[in-house]
Amino acid sequence: MGPDDPAYLWLEGPNQWPAALPELRTVVLDWQSRLAAVAHRLLQELLVAIGAPADFFDAAFADRPHLHTKLIRYPGSAPSGADQGVGAHKDYGFLTLLLQDSVGGLQVVRDGGYLDVPPMPGAFVVNLGELLEIATEGYLTATDHRVVSPPGAVERYSVPFFYNPRLDAVIETVPGDYLRSAPGVAHDESNPLHAEYGRNELKGWVRAHPAVARRWHPELANA
pLDDT tens track, the chain, 223 positions: 777 889 899 888 888 899 999 999 999 999 999 999 999 999 999 999 999 999 999 999 998 999 999 999 888 765 555 566 778 889 999 999 999 999 988 999 998 899 999 999 999 999 999 999 999 999 999 999 998 887 777 888 999 999 999 999 999 999 999 999 999 987 777 778 899 999 999 998 888 778 888 888 888 776 6
Residue 59: CATH number of its domain = 2.60.120.330
Q: What pLDDT score was predicted for residue 178?
A: 96
d(CA 120, CA 23): 28
Please indicate, yes or no, if residue 31 is contained in any of the structural domains.
yes
Q: Which residue segment(s) compose the domain that 27 sits in?
A: 22-187
Please indicate, yes or no, if residue 71 is contained in any of the structural domains.
yes
d(CA 85, CA 65): 28
pTM of this prediction?
A: 0.91
Q: Which of these, 193, 61, 206, lies nearest to 130 by C-alpha position?
A: 193
d(CA 208, CA 223): 12
Please indicate, yes or no, if residue 163 is contained in any of the structural domains.
yes
Please indicate, yes or no, if residue 132 is contained in any of the structural domains.
yes
Q: What pLDDT score was predicted for residue 132?
A: 96
**CA-based max dimension of the chain:** 55
Total domains in the fold of the chain: 1
Please indicate, yes or no, if residue 202 is contained in any of the structural domains.
no
Q: Give tens-digit pLDDT for 55-97.
A: 999 999 998 999 999 999 888 765 555 566 778 889 999 999 9
Q: What pLDDT score was predicted for residue 38?
A: 98
Q: What pLDDT score was predicted for residue 152?
A: 75
